[in-house]
Chain A
């Protein structure tokens, strides 16, 4: 029984009226509509059933009415979408923060971008809005006037304070010391010990969701591929999969296989880079240099075979924008195999290198319960013994045939997050091998045709960082009306704030790198 029918049964039992949504809803996910008054009650029931909140977003439809969407999931049962419409021009909706912690940031984002008010939200400090537009207005409102932007600089942000003796604040960022993205961290510390860390994000908000509106899918995918440059394949794939589900296009098997090959290569490259960088943050530069070398080897082969070092703009609506000639397959296979072997050798060195083990073991622990409560995703969750992986849970093609076993381990510390990365490199290498050996003879691309006006699509894709959830609504002439994307970082940033409460200040970079959340993917 699908999660949709399970939920429907549950809601009916609790006296909540639900309607299965109309034909313009995505075919790929069960959809239920309910009244706004039942919104919080539905969340409560979902929570009682241990469902995970995947995403929460708003949209403004044709007549200007606001719609609110939430996606819930359970491992093994799949995903389900709930929708409600705000009636009578109200801008208020019931908050579900009491049931889902992860909803806190998502509702603040809705508040800032649409001016809607989550009633009962305990913390409505501006998040994406840094003071350039009035609270209550929002850039994604149809009536938003860009001319009305205030020219004043951003206002003060009231960070959490603690007035105990000996507690001091450390402001870090927003322009960081290394070669990384900008964001501000505010620590409350006593001596070397962190008591609390609060992140202030939104600095790289560049209006992707608004910018993409009005573009046709083949053009819009370029922007989707730049939500987070390090996960460009996964984000482009998520957009394309959502758009294809709206257009009801079935792309050829070869295209799906090649997308997966690129996505797995992206996973390997980023995991290799991260392993090196985490070790570097514990002053083990040998590992950093080895990993950087392997990562560069990957980038060079990508340039040669696919035409781009980071694989940008290779995934397009309808398939992939390149073809892999059969002579190149052994080259790709050989390198993938060699990389996995090199990393296995480096893993042995890592395991016997006590100075690094000393730093990573038992640093920044997160329990399985906390991980579930926050709804964390990706390697962060899997390192805390939560086996969620969209490749299994959504089993989207080609992972329906080429199945994956999630790499799970207990511990929840930096060393577990490293271990999961090492093992995922191995598993990705095996997947690439299987995909390439069974590469279909069909074309790598089919013709894209614009979906009808009002058609919507939804997709989840497991990026190297974790699950990406994407929703696309089309308007007339195949133009994108609304593009919503929930990068894994939106939830995983919460996890980082939680784990560093148990570490000393100098171990923060180590933990930060072991999470490696995206700023750009969060800020959009």
Chain B
């Protein structure tokens, strides 16, 4: 226990101010009024749906919770159920086998809700495009509010994008 505490103290707080993103998030349409979006500020619950990604986007999404980025300090946290979520983060090209599950998960999120397409595949189909097994971009299936580009987007890109969605 002592050794654990010593390490915690020695390393200290390493959380950094939010950096500049290289991949600007792209806003599509105005699905929610500014007033509602403002209400989500400082208390945003996110549910992630991997709709067919290669798992690289998931690694960077997980990294947002590491001590350097500490996403929770902005009042943003991940929840286990879409029923508890305000925002759906969707990664990957939507595989045909995930299409139904993605729609059902979207329906399960209570209104008003936001949808963020994460990564190049979710933005436009990426390397996988549209094929017998892939429906391509998330916007082919769901109304999308924000698109975060990058293959995969860095944690900074992701945080900037998520915060864009809830800033007036």
Contact = CB atoms under 8 A, between A and B. Distances in A.
B53 A181 contact: yes
Given A182-B50, A204-B97, A290-B7, A296 B131 contact: no
B81 A230 contact: no
Given A226-B127, A289-B67, A180 B56 contact: no
Given A206-B128, A230-B56, 10 more contacts: A175-B82, A181-B50, A204-B50, A205-B96, A206-B93, A210-B132, A226-B126, A232-B54, A293-B11, A309-B60
Given A179-B61, A229-B55, A229-B152, A207 B131 contact: yes
A204 B90 CA distance: 13
A208 B65 CA distance: 31
A233 to B, nearest CB: 12
- Which 9 pairs across A and B sit closest by C-beta, in order of nearness? A229-B56, A207-B133, A177-B80, A292-B66, A229-B54, A229-B55, A226-B54, A146-B132, A206-B134
Interface stretch (B31-39, B98-106, B141-149): B98-106
Interface centre among B61, B82, B93, B96 (most CB of A within 10 A): B96
B76 interface: no
B97 A202 contact: yes
B65 A292 contact: yes
Contacts of B52: 203-204, 206, 520
A86 to B, nearest CB: 23
A204 B54 CA distance: 8
B56 A232 contact: yes
B133 A205 contact: yes
Contact of B63 (A180, A286, A299): A299
Contacts of B9: none
Nearest to A131: B97
A334 to B, nearest CB: 18
A128 to B, nearest CB: 9
Contact of B78 (A179, A204, A232, A349): A179
Interface of B: 3-4, 7-8, 11, 14, 48-63, 65-68, 78, 80-82, 92-93, 95-98, 100-101, 105, 126-129, 131-134, 151-152, 154
Nearest to A153: B100
B56 A133 contact: no
A159 interface: no
A139 B132 contact: yes
Secondary structure of the A contact surface, majority rule: loop
A215 to B, nearest CB: 10
A310 B119 CA distance: 14
A39 B57 CA distance: 42
Nearest to B62: A179
Interface string A174-196: 11011111100000000000000
Interface of A: 130, 132-133, 139, 144, 146, 149, 153-154, 174-175, 177-182, 202-208, 210-211, 222-223, 226-230, 232, 273, 286, 289-290, 292-293, 295-296, 299, 303, 309-310, 312, 345, 348-349, 352-353, 518-520, 523
Nearest to A346: B7
Nearest to A353: B4
A211 B95 CA distance: 13
Contacts of A232: 54, 56
A204 B53 contact: yes
Given A204-B97, A229-B56, A211 B62 contact: no
Given A175-B49, A230-B59, A293 B66 contact: yes
A341 to B, nearest CB: 13
Contacts of B51: 182
Contacts of A520: 52-55
A299 to B, nearest CB: 7
A134 to B, nearest CB: 12
A224 to B, nearest CB: 10
B118 to A, nearest CB: 11
B101 A518 contact: no
Contact of A207 (B55, B80, B134): B134
Given A177-B81, A205-B97, A349 B55 contact: no
Nearest to A183: B50
A232 B80 CA distance: 28
B128 A211 contact: yes
A175 B63 CA distance: 20
Contacts of A299: 63
Contacts of B93: 206
A321 B154 CA distance: 21
